[in-house]
A = this chain, B = another copy of it.
């Protein structure tokens, strides 16, 4: 007993150590779990979800990152730049006309199956590729799907996820409302549209020495490129509906054999509008509602 008592402090220290290590471990685990935004909805195993959703933009955003996208280019030689310059009235006319063109754009879910010239799509993608990007990383990949079978597989993946969302959110009370259900998760246009454009952001690149190079503003950069893509589509009379099926991103990435550093940001079905296409009767905010002048 005397021996045991004299050993008590040692025993105590060891036991406390073990307990503390145990708690730290369980805390770290919990932490990792809450960071990896895993959809709890599907019973099926979806191993790719963890991998893709861990590496979110904000987790890795660096406080010391340069804010000006053109920075980091100081060592590149400069060349003169003199773009077209318009007189005041021409400028105003151009501004008005481009506004009228863009104001005519609507998100359209009724897309015609008529073929669209492939060359037009090429120019539209080229145009999106003129977008600025953080440190000129051009962190985008545009996957253009014209193949009927691949389009159908994409539809299956998207509809499966949408149906889960729908059932979770709506519960049983809505299940009878077939009309609403159809517009919510049946995406016929994914089969019908002649092209699907899947826009991926590259979360990092590879340095010359093989190390990973984080692309800090890749989500913003690629979204800006999507804005220019939408302008280019609208300019040639093609329509689309903007969607961000982030939950199916990992599954679609595997289907399209894109590498792990590419994350789906947007899925755009593209084509001519159907002859009987309709759009919701919505209005846009007025200039006074969106602009503040100081």
Residues of A within 8 A of B (CB): 1-2, 4-5, 8, 11-12, 15-16, 19-20, 23-24, 27, 31, 37, 39-41, 56-59, 61, 63-71, 73-74, 76-86, 88, 91-92, 94-96, 98-99, 102-109, 117, 119-120, 122-132, 134, 136, 138, 140-147, 150, 158, 161-162, 165, 168-169, 179-180, 183-184, 187, 217, 219-220, 223-232, 234-237, 239, 241-248, 256, 258, 265-267, 272-273, 276-282, 284-285, 287, 290-294
Contact between B244 and A91 (Cβ–Cβ < 8 Å)?
no
Knowing A12-B15, A84-B237, A235-B95 are in contact, say whether A290-B140 is a contact too (CB < 8 A): yes
Looking across the interface, which residue of chain B has its beta carbon closest to that of A227? B227
For the complex of A and B, the 8 pairs showing the least CB-CB separation, nearest first, are A227-B227, A223-B223, A78-B278, A95-B123, A67-B245, A76-B280, A224-B227, A73-B280
Contact between B69 and A241 (Cβ–Cβ < 8 Å)?
yes
Q: Report Cα–Cα, A58/B36, bound state, in Å.
A: 11
Q: Which of A12, A69, A82, A231 has the most CB of B within 10 A?
A: A231
Interchain CB contact (< 8 A) of A144 among B229, B280, B292: B292
Contact between A132 and B107 (Cβ–Cβ < 8 Å)?
yes
Contact between B104 and A84 (Cβ–Cβ < 8 Å)?
yes
Contact between A104 and B91 (Cβ–Cβ < 8 Å)?
no
Interchain CB contact (< 8 A) of A290 among B66, B70, B119, B129: B129
Q: Report Cα–Cα, A292/B125, bound state, in Å.
A: 10
Q: Report Cα–Cα, A70/B73, bound state, in Å.
A: 39
Contact between B130 and A99 (Cβ–Cβ < 8 Å)?
yes
Contact between A130 and B227 (Cβ–Cβ < 8 Å)?
no
Contact between B277 and A82 (Cβ–Cβ < 8 Å)?
yes
A68: which B residues are within 8 A, CB to CB?
109, 162, 187, 241-243, 245
Q: Which of A19, A67, A145, A267 has the most CB of B within 10 A?
A: A67
Contact between B67 and A144 (Cβ–Cβ < 8 Å)?
no
Interchain CB contact (< 8 A) of A281 among B78, B225, B282: B78
CB distance from A215 to the nearest CB of B (A): 13
CB distance from A192 to the nearest CB of B (A): 15
A158: which B residues are within 8 A, CB to CB?
67
CB-defined A-B contacts under 8 Å, sample of 12: A20-B23, A61-B246, A64-B168, A73-B280, A73-B282, A79-B278, A83-B105, A129-B285, A138-B290, A220-B244, A223-B226, A231-B231
